[in-house]
Chains A and B, each alone.
Chain A
């Protein structure tokens, strides 16, 4: 069975500071990994995905994530936080290209001016 653990239900950073959202996964097979963002009262938007190509994945809005198999991690980073980054972020894993995504519980990011 696959699972995702997101450390920290709420992360607060100052505008311009580094954003680091943590995600650890459990999977019996090489996983597909995703980060999604959800703004209030909206659906989920894909930030980036890892599908066994390059381990450093660049996404939209300046976000990137690094797949580390030895640590079973897929942490999301952004060098400089912007007020518009305030949202809920979800890490997800799937066993293959079409099997259902298994989500972590999410991390709410607050950006302080």
Chain B
């Protein structure tokens, strides 16, 4: 069974540009979570999508946004990129077989570098 897949693996953008990161959850998982892992700051929660709806967002500015598609895959968009946005962006998915939540499974991440 395929795990959580993220694309691209690496992304280099110029300050002020927009970045789009993609995540495909494990088959059957309906919840997708996005985290930012910047150097020295640990993992910061960005966004949570479930059944196509945004359920919660972390303490990030509105230029961080996303969506979840009918097939439960998800997209994270970062507008007006700043140098401080350089980080590893991790996606995780969770499923609810029989109404019981699985643990969160993580993808390998997208390394975003803003120059």
Q: Which residues of A contact B (CB under 8 A)?
A: 34, 36, 41-46, 49, 90, 96-106
A90 and B103 form a contact (CB under 8 A):
no
The reply on B107 being an interface residue by CB < 8 A is yes
**Of B13-21, B42-50, B65-73, which stretch is located at the interface?**
B42-50
**Known A98-B96, A100-B45, A105-B42: A42·B108 in contact at CB below 8 Å:** yes
Q: Which residues of B contact A (CB under 8 A)?
A: 4, 31, 33, 35, 41-43, 45, 48, 50, 56, 58, 90, 92, 94, 96, 100-101, 103-109, 111
**6 closest cross-chain pairs (CB), A and B:** A97-B101, A43-B106, A105-B42, A103-B43, A44-B106, A43-B108
Q: A42's closest neighbor in chain B, by CB?
A: B108
**Known A43-B4, A43-B106, A90-B42: A101·B101 in contact at CB below 8 Å:** no
**Known A43-B109, A98-B96: A49·B103 in contact at CB below 8 Å:** yes
Other than A43-B109, A98-B31, give 15 A-B pairs with Cβ distance below 8 A.
Answer: A36-B106, A42-B109, A44-B106, A45-B106, A46-B103, A46-B104, A90-B43, A98-B94, A98-B96, A99-B56, A101-B104, A103-B35, A103-B42, A103-B43, A103-B45
Q: B34's closest neighbor in chain A, by CB?
A: A100
B50 and A98 form a contact (CB under 8 A):
yes
Q: B95's closest neighbor in chain A, by CB?
A: A98
Q: Given the complex, which residues of A lie within 8 Å of B100, measured CB to CB?
A: 97
Q: Given the complex, which residues of B lie within 8 Å of A45, measured CB to CB?
A: 106
Q: Given the complex, which residues of A lie within 8 Å of B106, measured CB to CB?
A: 36, 43-45
Q: Given the complex, which residues of B lie within 8 Å of A34, measured CB to CB?
A: 103-104
B42 and A106 form a contact (CB under 8 A):
yes
Q: A104's closest neighbor in chain B, by CB?
A: B42
Q: Given the complex, which residues of A lie within 8 Å of B56, measured CB to CB?
A: 99-100
